Amino acid sequence: MPTVSPKRWWALAVLATAQFMVIMDTSIIGVALPEMQKDLGFSQGDLQWVFNAYVIAFGGLLLLGGRLSDLLGARRVFTAGWGVLIAGSVVAAAAQTAWAEVVGRAVQGVGGALIAPAAMTLLMTLFAHDPKELGKAMALYGAAAPAGGTAGVFLGGVFTEWLSWPWVFIIYIPIGLATLAATGLLPAVAPSRGAIDVLGAASVTAGLALAVFAVVRAPETGWGTTQTVLQLTGAAALLTLFLVLQKTMRRPLMPLGIWRVPRLGSANLGMALLGAAWIPMWYFLNLYLQQVLGYGAFASGAALLPMTVLLMVFMTAITARLPARFGAKPLIGGGLLVLAAGLLWLSAVEPSGSFAVDVLPASLVAALGMSLAYIPAMMAAMSGAPAEQAGLASGIVNTTYQIGSALGLAALTALATSQGAGRLGDLPALTDGYSAAFTTAAAIAAAGGLITLLTMRPDRAPAPTPADPAEA
């Protein structure tokens, strides 16, 4: 019988904080970008790399992070990841040139790629003894991710408006040090035997990075140009090489047999499409608030707080109960369809709109859909994996969410720009561009919901209903 840690709920607080901070790192820089561009000399085209350097390093290295978590021990990798994230934050905060800023952001992404899968492995270790407690723990941990993404926009506005843009990175230093001091609360997970598949790690990371790079650059270079075609072809070749290596190597980075785990494939597809719809939503919603409705950085962030509150309350108080009662399949599929409805509502934004009419109700519907789908998708992806592959399964599902987010944002940015979102000061054109992005994101979410409902296996049998999270 597994040992039950008496400090497991305190340990969960450490893990949830890590999840919150890692995901917040993808969003907190949004409202600070104009000031960073002015101070560091970014060109308009290169400014996007402040965001994408993090996402590419994070998404491209998550599989390796999951494998290292299994081989070296989850607590050790979690601790190392925070050390790397702190170092990247120092570089990003102190940067005096554009290239130094991009390097700092990439180092932060490496740290995040080590932290995220290790944290999930530690969570499963702490709470695998009791399905009721695991449901509550997953709800609290899962709520930290979307809340971190939304809170990043709000805190970025606070720091940028009242302090200065380096504070969006400085904040990670004291929190990181406090987290390192609390790692003694975490269980010491025994490492497993095996070797690191360096060639596999290099090919999948390079392939994912090149794919994101091609999609990000395509709006500027052209989708049909030789450069874009070669980049996408190269990405496909590298990812094909990765699959060949995983099939032929003795100790691969991602044993292909893991895809026989029930519902892993369908849950990962759902997560990818969830990220591709959700992340562009808050990105363009923030731009609509600032560039069309005229909100400042702080007011724009504050306007997103109702979504954060709904996510936190619903995930912690309600979503924890639902998988045991209904199973993952209807929650993931239904949640994506509810998200699609909220996005379609947002697509009706007007140049002379208002927060109360055009933004608040639709954004709450979208947040409800996110809160229904996210935790069940994570649990479905992880639930069937054996203990020695828990870190790998976590790395896979986090990778699909992050890469889906990056590709979705890149593609919808290109679409929005082509529909008028690049014409600063022209409110009808900006609104048309953002409306097109919301409409397409709604289609992505709807497709994810329908695919999930049609392809995902149902749960084998309902588990007992979790106790009220307030009783924890």
User: Contacts from 255-259 at CB under 8 Å and sequence distance 24+?
Assistant: 255/389, 255/392, 258/385, 258/389, 258/392, 258/393, 258/396
Cα–Cα dist 226/228, whole Å? 6
pLDDT of residue 195: 66
pLDDT of residue 211: 82
pLDDT of residue 388: 63
pLDDT of residue 48: 67
Ranges of the chain with pLDDT below 70: 1-5, 26, 30, 43-48, 128-130, 145-147, 149-150, 190-195, 219, 262, 316, 320, 324, 384-392, 394-395, 422, 424, 459-472
pLDDT of residue 466: 38
Residue 103, exposed/middle/buried by CB under 10 A (0-12, 13-18, 19+)? Answer: middle
